Structure 1
Amino acid sequence: MKVVTGQPYEGREATLIDWARYRVRGSEYPGIVPQEGSLVCGKLYWGLDEQAVEKLDAFEGDKYERVLVNVILADGSNQQAYVYAIRQDCRTMLSNDPWDFDRFLQNGLERFIHWFVEDRRDLFDRGDL
């Protein structure tokens, strides 16, 4: 979060119900889609300002959309939050492989860092990030 927004926002563990997370084909990057009976565990950040949200929008790109959902926090409470989901017309870019954080660390982190730093350099050059 800090690398993209420039701010160290506080976050808490949260669970998204009736959504699933799959690996994007040819990468180790995840995408989420609605899927009844599935769960996605993640982190909920709060206190983001408009500039941080704009940076996140630019980082996620045009194949993702910000969607308002309900998440469940560790204490059992519900909270509305935005998630970045694969747009309906881009869902064919997802594989059938569930995304796994440990697999990402082992197989995809180095490639992701290269993509973030090199392939997305235009965002830095334009000042979007």
Structure 2
Amino acid sequence: MTPPTACFTYGSLMCDDIFRAVTGQSCPAEPARLNGYRRHPVRGEDYPGIRPAGDSSVDGVLYHLRDATALARLDAFEGAQYQREAVEALTRDGITIIAWAFIFHPAHAHRLAPGDWDAEHFMRHNKAHFLRRHFPTDRSDM
């Protein structure tokens, strides 16, 4: 199998400015859905984690990566509490695309809070805090 050249994002990385800050590049993006997973808040953090959940689905953004550099930078950003796995993301046009996704590592599952992570709440109330915490330098382009 050819390694995926896309990445399904479902949390802070859905924001193009955050994605660019992490990867160092702008990539074509489109809305997508990941079936069979559920998104939870991570205790004490502004971002979520996903875990397998057969009857659930997660809406997110599918980025078409330009090169392996973006993926290496995503690996470094996500860290040990996530594991990168190939998944089947479904575009709005109904096309299935094999993509990388960062799944919350089972060893850290105790950090996932019950309930769903709210993307709109993140945008309105937590994004600024997230940016200050993870990108403390000048963010004039964000």
Q: Under a length normalisation based on structure 1, what TM-score does the superposition of the two structures give? A: 0.86
Structure 1 runs (4+) deviating above 4 angstroms are none
* 1:68 aligns with one of 80, 83, 86: 86
Counterpart in the other structure of 1:88: 106
RMSD: 1.4
Deviations 1:9-42 (A, max 9, x none): 0011110001010000012211011101111011
User: What's the secondary structure of 1:111's corresponding residue?
Assistant: helix
SS of the equivalent of 1:4 reads helix
The aligned residue for residue 118 of structure 2 is 100
List gaps (5 residues or longer) in structure 2. Answer: 1-18, 138-142
- Once the 2 structures are TM-superposed, how far is the Cα of residue 102 of structure 1 from its aligned partner? 1.2
1:4 and 2:22 matched: yes
Please tell me whether residue 22 in structure 1 is matched to residue 45 in structure 2. Answer: no
The CA distance in 2 between the partners of 1:72 and 1:48, in whole Å, is 20
How do residues 33-52 of structure 1 correspond to structure 2 at under 5 angstroms?
A: 33-52=51-70
Contact 1:28–1:107, Cα closer than 8 Å, also in 2? no
Q: Give how far 1:114 is off.
A: 2.0
1:48 positional shift? 3.3
Structure whose residues are more often helix by fraction: 1
Structure having the higher strand fraction is 1
**CA shift digits 1:94-119 (9 cap, x unpaired):** 1003101111123321221122124x
- C-alpha distance in structure 1 between counterparts of 2:23 and 2:123, whole Å: 22
Distance 1:106 1:92 in 2: 27
How many matched pairs?
A: 119
Secondary structure (helix, strand or coil) at the match of 2:114 reads strand
- Unaligned 5+ segments in structure 1 are 122-129
- Distance in 2 (CA, whole Å) between partners of 1:99 and 1:80 is 24
* CA apart distance, 1:47: 3.1
The answer for the alignment partner of 2:97 in structure 1 is 79
DSSP-derived class of the 1:17 partner: strand
